[in-house]
Amino acid sequence: MSLLSKLVIAGLLGILGAFIILGTKELGKQIDKRLTDRDILTCIITETVPKEDALAKIQAGITDSRAWKTLDGEVLIYFQAAAFADVENGMRLPIIGVENPEEHGMVDDIYLLDSAAPINQRLEFQIDDFSSEAVVRRPSTDEALLLNRREGLIGGIDRLSAIFIRGYTQTVVFKAKSIEGVQKAHQVTNAFSRLEGKRIFIQSNLQILLELKKIRAIQAQALIWITVGSAAVLGLVFGSLTWMEFREERYLLALIRSFGIGSLSLFLHALIENTLLALVGVLLGFFALTISVNFMQLEAMNMVWLRSADTLIGGDGLPLLMGAALGGILSSLPVAIGLRKPLGLILT
């Protein structure tokens, strides 16, 4: 009966621990996915360049872009003019410039970014006294983000320099590869703002990323506590049962010792028995959960992550198995203490 009780207790602990391990693993996957998502790692850095500084910057080739391109990640730089273009279809559109049109998949031309108009359609536009034609094309994801999903005119800044000397807003779209890259972008932005007095601002998800990183660290610690906790639970429960067994059988054990069987042999027997029962019980819990998930409506319960229960035996359940083994060892300590009692005090 005691053996069955130990197996049931270890099995229930195995099922409970499996839920925690699989849930923690799924949480880790989701966090890792978010931490490597290029969207959440994207920084939007904006700088307003007034009219009095615009001409000098354009003549110098807008060299600030070189500093941004030293960051570890993908960097796209756009310049929005302080003017609008009047298109023949009646639209009044913002004007976007880029330094190197080829890097943005454009030839040296002017394009009208529109999600609905026919591609390659040519439309006339006018900016004050300047007029020309623009070719319709679809906006990229970054261009749609920059324009807030509206239409816009885009072209090389060299061709549109006469417009940009009135002032412009520089927008840097920086797609970092890691949290450290986002932090570096903040450092560069703060340096520009503090040392050069620029009107520069950065939008990012840095605070969210740092919180996710903390949660990821806690998730790793949770596996350690699962090992410690399972060892403590099994050690206390198995130890109590083992001590009760020992007290009931102390006369029999003392008699066996009187026949020459050493205390070490009896202790090793209890140690191996408790450790194996703990391990087998936890494994039975894993098997029971693996089989039962095939008959559960996991989608309705929003617990699809339980489908990976078969990985518990393959390695994910190792922390719990280690805790079970440690608990089995700890539960044998009462036997070691009881076996130190002299035979004369037991048999008399």
Do residues 276 and 328 touch, judged by C-beta distance below 8 A? yes
CB neighbour list of residue 163: distance below 8 Å, 6 or more residues apart = 81, 83, 95, 127, 128, 130
Indicate if the alpha-carbon torsion angle 29, 31, 32, 34 is positive or negative: positive
Rounded-to-integer distance, Cα 243 and Cα 337, Å: 10
| pLDDT, tens only, 153-168 | 888 887 887 888 888 8
Give pLDDT, residue 331.
Answer: 72
Q: What pTM was estimated for this model as a whole?
A: 0.64
Q: In the beta sheet, which residues pair with residue 169? A: 48, 80
pLDDT for 348 beyond 50: no
| pLDDT, tens only, 206-247 | 888 888 888 877 777 777 777 777 767 776 776 676 666 655
Share of the chain above pLDDT 90, in %: 0
pLDDT band at 343 (very low <50, low <70, confident <90, very high): very low
Question: Which residue type does 286 have?
Answer: F
Give the count of alpha carbons within 13 A of 58, CB side only.
25
Q: Write out the H or E segment, with its range, that includes residue 147.
A: none
CB neighbour list of residue 75: distance below 8 Å, 6 or more residues apart = 65, 68, 69, 172, 173, 174, 175
Do residues 250 and 338 touch, judged by C-beta distance below 8 A? yes
**Over residues 29-51, mean pLDDT:** 80
pLDDT band at 25 (very low <50, low <70, confident <90, very high): confident
Q: What is the DSSP letter of 138?
A: P
Give pLDDT, residue 291.
Answer: 79
* Mean of the per-residue pLDDT values of the chain: 76
Place of tokens 């298109």: 87
**Over residues 300-315, mean pLDDT:** 65
Q: Enter the tokens of residue 159.
A: 């061709």
pLDDT band at 346 (very low <50, low <70, confident <90, very high): very low
Q: What is the DSSP letter of 342?
A: -
Give pLDDT, residue 300.
Answer: 61
Bin 133: left if φ > 0, else alpha if -120 < ψ < 50, else beta.
beta
pLDDT for 172 beyond 70: yes
